């Protein structure tokens, strides 16, 4: 198909948008959102993602349509069977792909100077979104991770906030807290990220830690301010608690045979992810003997976990097609829920609602018992539990340190877990994510900044400051090495062996920027290398 002159093409698009009878205006904060791209474009969406028009499946779902989606779909149906039709040319005509931000720092910055320089470079203000964009507008500024991650992410933000607060940007900490409160009030939960295709799931619930971070600086009134949203988030994660039979699960809730209530990762949908459509279809095709919808649900649930993807969730510890995330009670999620319960109790105390204090202290106590019953591996470490198979998962991962981070660990078990981490996870470049090398990014040989911080804080809490410092200094050395050679901070790092550097594996190339690495690195510099 011969491309139209730009002016004629624009006029045609305007006519199509008008004849479709659909308003074509920016979406403002608080206005109804369009459906996600797979629903907006139907067969066109499938065709574009299957044909790999863009190398990264996320590019198309972040693109902006140049006309109303109904008009674009109408044009596609009219043209797709015509001789010489080019899908790539059609997409190029009707969509504007997201711009790739170029980060060009000044020369000869120290690592600390570079991180300080990056904060404004990674800050976005999007109180409106282009018409039919997948971007969800937010009322306040926020910091994005960087690279292909052009929007804010839930659990990333806590670790970014650590660095922002350390650098004196308390205003941005408060802004992002307000954004999350807005999303809880608007959607009932904090989505994976502020994109319409992320609305069907959340991410590890770090909102209570964000509130605590701000309260440490600003006082107890912060707990009271965000108490309504803390309670709403808790209600989201606990949907189905009262009506679920022992030995069964509803959404994010798992009720164990002894009536202990724990949580799992979950997603409302059982279809391929918009941003990884083709990868998910191919994985489902490899998962013989299972309905594709079950595989899609597990893939989506893993995206909610933040560990997408890892041997943690694989039935055979090796192969993505054996994924069974919804069958697993994760140790990290339940540790975070324990902290959320205690934080609600703290907020209720600030509000002088002592009945609520009693309820949530009691809930936290029951969860701690559940963690130490089900999420303790008799081999000597905290870990995940397969509730459908009725047994612990024998997979030692960095998640074992979450009960220490949250304070839910029994002291003797904390010491055994620290020793297990020393034995198998502490590597020359920091803490490795798992003991399996599967080619997935949340496995060996990679280490991730947030998991270093969880481990360091958990170990310090239980008296292992020397090991914490060892991990911190080794990871810092890895970060400094990559910065010295490439002048950037990246999403993940290789921590095994002598040749440490930028990490790899997974569905996309290594990204740089990078929000949570910047935040954790700044904290580690001040903890273990002040003056550098």
Contact 417, 400 (CB under 8 A): yes
Contact 429, 477 (CB under 8 A): yes
> 297: annotated binding-site residue?
no
Greatest pairwise CA separation for the chain in angstroms: 74
> 192: annotated binding-site residue?
yes
Task: Give the angle subtended at the CA of 81 by the CAs of 80 and 82, to the nearest 5°.
Answer: 95
The answer to whether 478 is a known catalytic residue is no
> 150: annotated binding-site residue?
no
3-state DSSP: the chain helix, strand, coil percent, rounded to 5? 50, 10, 40
CA atoms within 13 Å, Cβ hemisphere of 470 = 13
> 273: annotated binding-site residue?
no
Residue 386 C-alpha from the chain's centroid: 22
Strand 426-427 and strand 430-431: the pairing is antiparallel
Residue 337 vs residues 208, 209, 216: alpha-carbon distances, Å? 9, 11, 20
Separation of alpha carbons 323 and 313, rounded Å: 5
- What are the residues facing 153 on neighbouring strands? 193
Torsion of CA 342, 345, 351, 353, to 10 degrees: 180
> 507: annotated binding-site residue?
yes
The answer to whether 267 is a known catalytic residue is no
> 156: annotated binding-site residue?
yes
Separation of alpha carbons 77 and 242, rounded Å: 48
> 363: annotated binding-site residue?
no
Catalytic residue among 178, 341, 491, 512: 491
Residue 318: other Cβ atoms inside 10 A: 15
Residue 378 vs residues 381, 384, 394, 405: alpha-carbon distances, Å? 7, 12, 10, 20
Question: What kind and span of H or E run contains 118?
Answer: helix 111-121
Contact 316, 217 (CB under 8 A): no
DSSP class of 142: E
> 306: annotated binding-site residue?
yes
Catalytic residue among 233, 280, 308, 478: 308
> 194: annotated binding-site residue?
no
> In a 3-state reduction of DSSP, which class is residue 440?
coil
Residue 8: other Cβ atoms inside 10 A: 10
Quote the tokens at residue 522: 């700044």
First to last CA, the chain: 59
Separation of alpha carbons 232 and 264, rounded Å: 18
Catalytic residues, by residue number, are 308, 491
Residue ranges of the binding site for substrate = 148, 155-156, 192, 201-203, 306, 507
Residue ranges of the binding site = 148, 155-156, 192, 201-203, 306, 507
């Amino acid at each position: 198909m011969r491309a139209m002159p730009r002016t004629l093409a624009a006029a045609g698009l305007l006519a199509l948008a008008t004849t479709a009878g659909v308003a074509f205006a920016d979406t403002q904060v608080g206005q109804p959102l369009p459906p996600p791209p797979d629903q907006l474009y139907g067969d066109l969406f499938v065709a574009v993602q299957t044909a790999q028009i863009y190398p990264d499946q996320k590019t198309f779902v972040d693109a902006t349509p140049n006309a109303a989606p109904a008009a674009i779909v109408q044009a596609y149906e009219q043209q797709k069977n015509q001789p010489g039709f080019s899908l790539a040319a059609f997409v190029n005509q009707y969509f504007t792909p997201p711009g790739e931000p170029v980060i060009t720092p000044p020369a000869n910055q120290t690592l600390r100077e570079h991180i300080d320089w990056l904060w404004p470079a990674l800050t976005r203000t999007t109180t409106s979104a282009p018409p039919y964009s997948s971007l969800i507008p937010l009322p306040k500024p926020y910091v994005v991770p960087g690279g292909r991650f052009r929007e804010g992410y839930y659990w990333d933000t806590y670790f970014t906030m650590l660095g922002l607060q350390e650098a004196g940007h308390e205003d941005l900490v408060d802004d992002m807290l307000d954004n999350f409160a807005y999303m809880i009030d608007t959607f009932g939960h904090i989505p994976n990220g502020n994109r319409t295709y992320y609305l069907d799931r959340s991410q590890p619930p770090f909102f209570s830690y964000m509130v605590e971070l701000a309260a440490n600086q600003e006082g107890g009134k912060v707990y009271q301010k965000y108490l309504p949203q803390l309670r709403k988030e808790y209600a989201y994660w606990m949907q189905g608690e009262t009506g679920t039979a022992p030995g069964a699960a509803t959404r994010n809730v798992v009720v164990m045979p002894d009536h202990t209530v724990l949580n799992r990762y979950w997603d409302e949908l059982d279809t391929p992810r918009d941003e990884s459509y083709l990868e998910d279809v191919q994985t489902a095709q490899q998962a013989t003997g299972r309905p594709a919808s079950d595989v899609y649900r597990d893939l989506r649930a893993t995206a909610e976990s933040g560990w997408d993807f890892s041997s943690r969730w694989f039935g055979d510890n090796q192969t993505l097609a054996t994924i069974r995330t919804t069958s697993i009670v994760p140790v990290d999620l339940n540790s975070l829920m324990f902290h959320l319960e205690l934080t609600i109790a703290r907020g209720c105390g600030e509000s002088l609602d002592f009945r609520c204090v009693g309820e949530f202290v009691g809930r936290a106590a029951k969860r701690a018992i559940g963690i130490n019953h089900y999420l303790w591996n008799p081999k000597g470490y905290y870990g995940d539990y397969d509730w459908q198979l009725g047994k612990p998962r024998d997979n030692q991962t960095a998640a074992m340190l979450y009960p220490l981070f949250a304070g839910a660990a029994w002291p003797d078990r904390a010491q055994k877990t620290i020793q297990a981490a020393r034995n198998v996870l502490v590597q020359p470049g920091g803490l490795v994510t798992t003991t399996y090398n599967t080619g997935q990014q949340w496995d060996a040989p990679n280490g991730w900044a947030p998991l270093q911080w969880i481990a360091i804080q958990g170990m310090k809490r239980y008296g292992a400051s020397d090991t914490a410092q060892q991990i911190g200094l080794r990871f810092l050395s890895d970060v400094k090495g990559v910065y010295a050679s490439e002048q950037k901070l990246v999403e993940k790092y290789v921590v095994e062996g002598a040749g440490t550097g930028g990490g790899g594996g997974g569905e996309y190339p290594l990204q740089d920027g990078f929000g949570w690495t910047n935040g954790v690195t700044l904290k580690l510099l001040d903890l273990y290398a002040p003056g550098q």
